[in-house]
Amino acid sequence: MITELGTIVLSDLSDGKMDAMTTEATVTPAKKRQAEEMGSEGITPRESWSEERVRRAAKKFRVEWMNETYFRDWLRPHPTDETYCICIACDIKLRCGKSELEKHASGMKHCRKMDLMKENPNNRPQLTAILPEGSLSQAAERVLCEENGTFFVTAGEDFDATALNSVEAVTATSTTDAILSKALIKLSKYLDGKSDADKRKIQMAETEHHRRMQVLNKELELRSIEVLIRQAELQKLNNCAPVQGKHSNSKASSVRDDICDDEEEEDVGL
């Protein structure tokens, strides 16, 4: 009886159903469980979690954040890379999400520089974060700008060094270099010099300081030579003036003597 029923059931099944039953019989329980875990997309939970983690970690700047009042005063988009933004108060380039930007804005250094910007709106540091790398002077000025919040001009930019008696020019150059030296001392307090980056920053700042000192020394030498030449010319003019006065006095006295002699001769003739 059992054999007859089995024969009837097998005869009623089509070829497609037989193939499906055969395939289902060959699938192991482990493979079936793995297929159920992967789902329709064919991605395991571990792979899905890793992709979500990468997607969360790759946070980028969005231009629409500029419409918010909180970011409007100090945040600017990068001119060449849209995934970065620039903090104009700290002069640094950032690539992070909104929560990281809020954390940066709550830092003590950022708050201090924001206060300086509010006190002096016209005295803002130059945006060196968008300058190309490779220039030693730019790198040194960037270090000084980050640590001291001041942009240092090169010698001869804010004054007329070609003017005569340009003592003001030399004074302005000395003042600029003195400010640079103070910033270099302040920079050495911030950097401990243990890491390679700190050592490179200090070396670049010292190189720029020595370069400006050489420029200052050359300016002072030229100005001192000019002063010596002008002093020699003035002394020569002063020495020539009394001699000319003596010659004029002697000529006048000789003319008076001649007049007196002529008068005496006329008296004798009478």
Q: What is the pLDDT of residues 87-123, one digit of tens each?
A: 888 878 887 788 888 888 888 888 888 888 777 765 5
CB-based contact 178:160 (threshold 8 Å): no
- pTM check: above 0.75: no
CA distances from 141 to 87, 207, 238 (A): 17, 11, 49
Q: What confidence score (pLDDT) does residue 188 get?
A: 52
- For the ranges 4-8, 94-98, 173-177, 209-213, which has the lowest average pLDDT? 4-8
Residue 157 in this model has a pLDDT that exceeds 80: no
117 or 143, which is more confident: 117
The 3-class secondary structure across 157-215, one letter per residue, is CCCCCCCCCCHHHHHHHHHHHHHHHHHHHHHHHHCCCCCHHHHHHHHHHHHHHHHHHHH
Per the prediction, the chain carries an average pLDDT of 60
Residue 191 in this model has a pLDDT that exceeds 60: no
pLDDT > 90: percent of the chain: 0
Helices 108-119/98-105 angle, 10° precision: 70
Nearby residues of 230 by Cβ (< 8 Å), 6 or more positions away: 165
Q: What confidence score (pLDDT) does residue 96 get?
A: 78
Strands 85-87 and 92-94: antiparallel
Q: What confidence score (pLDDT) does residue 199 get?
A: 66
Q: What confidence score (pLDDT) does residue 151 get?
A: 37
Q: What average pLDDT score do residues 178-185 get? A: 54
Contacts 24+ apart (CB under 8 A), 215-221: 215/155, 215/156, 215/173, 216/155, 216/173, 216/174, 216/177, 219/155, 219/156, 219/161, 219/169, 219/170, 219/173, 220/170
Q: What average pLDDT score do residues 157-183 get? A: 46
Q: Name which of 82, 95, 156, 88 is nearest 124 in CA terms.
A: 88
Q: What confidence score (pLDDT) does residue 183 get?
A: 55
Q: Name which of 269, 65, 5, 159 is nearest 74 in CA terms.
A: 65
Q: What confidence score (pLDDT) does residue 3 get?
A: 43
Q: What confidence score (pLDDT) does residue 238 get?
A: 75
174 or 104, which is more confident: 104
Condensed to tens digits (0 to 9), the pLDDT of residues 225-246 reads 777 777 777 777 777 765 555 5
Burial of 94 (0-12, 13-18, 19+ CB in 10 A): middle
Domain ranges of the chain: 53-119, 195-238
Nearest-angstrom CA–CA distance, 56 and 207: 42
Output the six-digit token pair for 195.
């890491």
Q: What confidence score (pLDDT) does residue 182 get?
A: 53
CB-based contact 145:126 (threshold 8 Å): yes
Q: What confidence score (pLDDT) does residue 185 get?
A: 52
Q: What average pLDDT score do residues 69-93 get? A: 80
pLDDT band (50, 70, 90) for residue 170: very low
Q: What confidence score (pLDDT) does residue 69 get?
A: 81
